[in-house]
Amino acid sequence: MKLRNPILIRMVAAALALVIWCWMRTTRLRIGSLDGRPHPADPASEQYFYAFWHEGLLAPLKTRIKVKILISQHADGEIIAQVCHWLGFGTVRGSTTRGGCEAIQSLVRESHSKTHLGITPDGPKGPRRKLQMGIIFVASLTGLPIVLAGIGFTRAWRLKSWDRFAIPRPRSEEHTSELQSHSFISYA
């Protein structure tokens, strides 16, 4: 069943945001890098374009980094956009299947406002962990360095969705490895 009523969507999103915020407060976050540095991309010093797989969407909620996240224009995307709003994240709407050109233009505009950008490079429908070229294209237009974030949980439930969405169990740890890339992309 798809929610279509804007008031109902806002109410459901507010409730989901509260549940997610409380749930994520039970987890611990550890950030490291592949080259051993404690945090390769200091968000206070420079603007970045963060990329993380679709299955790890909950992990950025644990950070204090404020980003504008690319979210699809589908009906489910509206709920996710409203949840992001309640959790203090900005959104840019569009995807490879709907509103892509407008999304690219919005991301380029947002890059001029000194806002961090975030994207799931495997897109709104997958395939899982397969990089779509949109992130490369937008990074080339904006000149922002890409920070690839690999997210793992010590204990998590996995949904039977295309992305095997991860829901961390209470008291589990999130492990985030970051690799800053100015000129290359690493495929996982």
Structure confidence by residue, pLDDT tens digits, 51-109 = 888 888 777 776 777 788 888 888 778 888 999 899 888 899 987 777 788 888 888 88
Is the model's pLDDT at 182 over the cut of 50?
no
Residue with the bigger pLDDT between 174 and 91: it is 91
Is the model's pLDDT at 187 over the cut of 60?
no
C-alpha 178/C-alpha 37 separation (Å) is: 10
Residue 42: what pLDDT? 67
Judge if pTM exceeds 0.75. yes
Residue 32: what pLDDT? 67
Exposed/middle/buried for residue 183 (C-beta within 10 Å: 0-12, 13-18, 19+): exposed
Residue 103: what pLDDT? 87
